[in-house]
C-alpha cells in the first residue's frame, strides 16, 4: 500500500478559516493525503490573526508556530516597496499608493518608493531578506515534518507568506498559494520569491496576477473561489420556506442591501429605500439588510438599525445578533457568517444593492440583477472604485452603477425593472465566469488533482 503524501496547510487569519476551512475545501485532498494544519500562536500581541478556538474546527492534526506580530510589521516594509515598484505607472498605482499612505504615513511611503527604484530595489531586497532570515518556528516545523508539499491559503501578506517562499525553496518543497480575496492579485505582491503555483479565481485575477504581481503565466491556475462552491447547488428549501426563514412577506419583490466592510451611514441609505417603497417609486418591494461580516461599529451620526420603526425593511435574522454586538462594542473580529445561509439568501432575493462587496459577484453567480452603489463619497469616505479589480466589474453593461445619492431612486427603478428577466439572468451568470470559474470540477477536486500532479500522488 502506497504511503500517503504529507501536505502542510498554513493558516494565519480568520478570513482564511471562513473561506477555506469552514467550507471543507481540503476534504478531497485529505482523502488521499496526510493533511496537517499549521496555525500561529503569537503571545506577544493582543491582536491575533486567528481568534477562534482552533480545537472547535475538528481538524485531524494541528501544529503551532510562534511568529511575533512585530515581525509581520517588519516584512511590511519590503512588501510596500515591492508593491510600489511593481505598480508604478499602472492604472492601479494611485489607489494602492493612497491605501499604503493610510497605513504607513506619507514619509515612510516616499522612502520605500525610493527604495523600489531600479538598481536600488534589488540591493534593498537582498539585504532585507538576508537580515530577516526565516522565523525559527516556521523553519522547525518544515524540518520536523518534511512535507511533500506546502499549501498556503493567503491574503498575500501576513505571518507566513514571506517565510514560506524562502524556506520551501531552500528545501526543494513545492509551494502553492491559494488566493483568498477578490483584490489580492491587483493589490498585493510576493516579495521573497514566487510560489510554484498561484491559484486564482478566474481570468480577471489571472491577468492581474501577471500584470501586477509579475507572476509567470505558467504558474497560475484558475480554480474559482473556494468560498463560492456552495453556490453551485440550490438550497433544499422552497421559496415559501425561504421567505419564512428570513421573515419577509409573500407576494413582494425582495431586494437585498448588502453592506460593505468599510460601510458607514447604512441606515441613511436604507431610509432612501424605505421612502421609495412607501411613496410607490418602486412598489411591491421589501428589503433585507445584511450587515457585512466585519462592518465595525456605527459611524458618527449613524442611527442604529433597531432604533428605527421600519415598515418595508428587515434585517437578515442570521446577522442580527452580530450587528447588535458589534455596534455596541466593536471588536474588529470577523464574524464567521455561513456561506450556506448566504446561498439561501441569494436564492430568495430578486436583486442586490451593495457598495464595494464581493456579494455583487456572488449575485452575478446566482443570476441576480445588481446595483453597485457608492454614496459614501459624499460622507467623506473614499471607496476604492478606482481600483482595477472593481473597475472591470463596473464596466460591465449588465451592471447598474450609482455614484451619487440623487441618482439612487432612478437606479433602483432600473434595477427593479430587470427583475424576472431570464435572458439577463443568463448573461449575468456568463459574465460572472470572467471573475470566478464556476463550471467543471469543484475547487476541492481541482486542488486534489493539482497536488497529485505536482507530487506524484495517485488519483
Range of the domain at 258: 234-433
Contacts of 119 (CB under 8 A, 6+ apart): none
With cut-offs at 50, 70 and 90, classify the pLDDT of residue 260: confident
> What is the spatial distance between Cα 340 and Cα 294, in angstroms, rounded to a whole number?
18
Mean residue pLDDT of the chain comes to 92
With cut-offs at 50, 70 and 90, classify the pLDDT of residue 61: very high
Q: Are residues 218 and 239 in the same domain?
A: no
Domain count, the chain: 2
Is the pLDDT at 269 greater than 70? The verdict is yes
Is the pLDDT at 219 greater than 80? The verdict is yes
Answer whether 446's CB lies under 8 Å from 221's CB: yes
Residue 117 lies in a domain: no
Residue 69: the pLDDT is 95
Q: Are residues 191 and 247 in the same domain?
A: no
Q: Are residues 164 and 250 in the same domain?
A: no
Q: What percent of the chain has pLDDT over 90?
A: 78
pTM beyond 0.95: no
Residue 191 lies in a domain: yes
Is the pLDDT at 224 greater than 90? The verdict is yes
Residue 14 lies in a domain: yes
Q: Are residues 367 and 315 in the same domain?
A: yes
Q: Are residues 325 and 450 in the same domain?
A: no
Q: Are residues 372 and 447 in the same domain?
A: no
Q: Are residues 207 and 246 in the same domain?
A: no
Residue 203 lies in a domain: yes
Residue 91 lies in a domain: no
Q: Are residues 220 and 167 in the same domain?
A: yes
Contacts of 247 (CB under 8 A, 6+ apart): 314, 317
Q: Which of 348, 350, 346 is nearest to 359 (CA)?
A: 346
Residue 420 lies in a domain: yes
Residue 263: the pLDDT is 63
Q: Per mean pLDDT, which range of 16-25, 278-287, 295-304 is the poorest?
A: 295-304
Q: Are residues 137 and 174 in the same domain?
A: yes
Contacts of 420 (CB under 8 A, 6+ apart): 350
Q: Are residues 254 and 318 in the same domain?
A: yes
Section 257-270 average pLDDT: 83
Is the pLDDT at 2 greater than 70? The verdict is no
Q: Are residues 163 and 266 in the same domain?
A: no
Residue 274 lies in a domain: yes
Q: Are residues 283 and 376 in the same domain?
A: yes
Section 268-286 average pLDDT: 94
Residue 441: the pLDDT is 97
Section 202-221 average pLDDT: 95
Is the pLDDT at 198 greater than 90? The verdict is yes
Residue that is written with C-alpha cell 511568529 in the block: 67
Section 379-388 average pLDDT: 53
Residue 119 lies in a domain: no
Q: CATH number for the domain including 404?
A: 3.40.50.2000
> What is the spatial distance between Cα 16 and Cα 181, in angstroms, rounded to a whole number?
9
Amino acid at each position: 500500500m502506497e504511503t500517503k503524501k504529507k501536505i502542510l496547510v498554513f493558516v494565519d487569519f480568520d478570513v482564511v478559516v471562513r473561506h477555506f476551512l469552514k467550507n471543507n475545501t481540503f476534504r478531497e485532498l485529505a482523502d488521499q493525503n496526510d493533511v496537517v494544519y499549521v496555525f500561529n500562536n503569537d503571545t506577544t500581541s493582543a491582536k491575533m490573526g486567528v481568534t477562534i478556538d482552533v480545537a472547535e474546527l475538528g481538524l485531524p492534526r494541528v501544529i503551532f508556530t510562534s511568529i511575533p506580530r512585530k515581525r509581520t510589521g517588519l516584512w511590511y516594509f519590503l512588501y510596500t516597496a515591492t508593491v510600489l515598484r511593481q505598480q508604478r505607472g499602472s492604472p492601479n498605482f494611485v489607489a494602492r499608493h493612497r491605501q499604503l499612505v493610510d497605513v504607513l504615513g506619507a514619509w515612510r511611503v516616499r522612502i520605500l518608493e525610493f527604495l523600489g527604484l531600479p538598481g536600488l530595489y534589488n540591493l534593498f531586497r537582498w539585504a532585507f531578506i538576508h537580515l530577516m532570515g526565516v522565523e525559527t518556528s516556521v523553519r522547525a516545523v518544515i524540518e520536523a515534518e518534511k512535507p511533500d508539499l506546502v499549501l498556503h491559503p493567503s491574503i498575500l501578506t501576513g505571518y507566513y507568506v514571506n517565510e514560506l517562499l524562502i524556506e520551501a525553496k531552500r528545501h526543494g518543497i513545492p509551494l502553492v498559494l491559494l488566493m483568498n480575496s477578490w483584490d489580492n492579485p491587483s493589490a498585493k505582491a510576493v516579495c521573497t520569491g514566487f510560489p510554484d503555483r498561484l491559484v486564482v479565481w478566474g481570468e480577471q485575477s489571472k491577468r492581474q496576477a501577471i500584470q501586477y504581481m509579475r507572476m509567470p503565466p505558467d504558474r497560475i491556475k484558475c480554480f474559482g473561489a473556494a468560498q463560492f462552491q456552495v453556490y453551485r447547488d440550490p438550497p433544499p428549501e422552497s421559496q415559501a420556506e425561504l421567505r419564512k426563514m428570513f421573515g419577509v412577506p409573500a407576494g413582494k419583490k425582495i431586494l437585498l442591501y448588502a453592506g460593505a466592510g468599510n460601510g458607514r451611514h447604512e441606515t441613511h441609505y436604507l431610509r432612501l429605500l424605505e421612502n421609495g417603497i412607501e411613496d410607490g417609486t418602486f412598489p411591491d418591494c421589501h428589503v433585507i439588510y445584511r450587515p457585512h461580516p466585519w462592518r465595525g461599529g456605527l459611524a458618527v451620526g449613524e442611527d442604529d438599525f433597531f432604533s428605527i420603526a421600519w415598515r418595508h425593511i428587515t434585517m437578515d435574522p442570521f446577522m442580527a445578533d452580530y450587528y447588535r454586538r458589534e455596534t455596541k462594542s466593536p471588536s474588529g473580529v470577523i464574524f464567521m457568517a455561513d456561506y450556506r445561509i448566504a446561498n439561501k439568501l441569494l436564492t430568495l432575493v430578486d436583486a442586490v444593492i451593495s457598495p464595494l462587496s464581493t456579494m455583487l459577484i456572488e449575485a452575478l453567480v446566482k443570476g441576480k440583477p445588481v446595483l453597485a452603489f457608492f454614496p459614501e463619497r459624499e460622507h467623506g469616505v473614499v471607496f476604492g472604485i478606482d481600483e482595477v479589480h472593481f473597475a472591470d466589474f463596473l464596466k460591465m453593461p449588465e451592471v447598474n452603477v450609482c455614484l451619487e445619492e440623487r441618482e439612487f431612486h432612478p437606479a433602483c427603478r432600473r434595477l427593479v425593472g430587470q427583475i424576472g428577466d431570464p435572458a439577463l439572468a443568463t448573461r449575468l451568470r456568463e459574465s460572472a465566469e470572467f471573475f470566478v470559474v464556476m463550471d467543471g470540477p469543484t475547487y476541492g477536486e481541482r486542488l486534489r488533482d493539482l497536488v497529485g500532479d505536482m507530487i506524484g500522488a495517485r488519483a
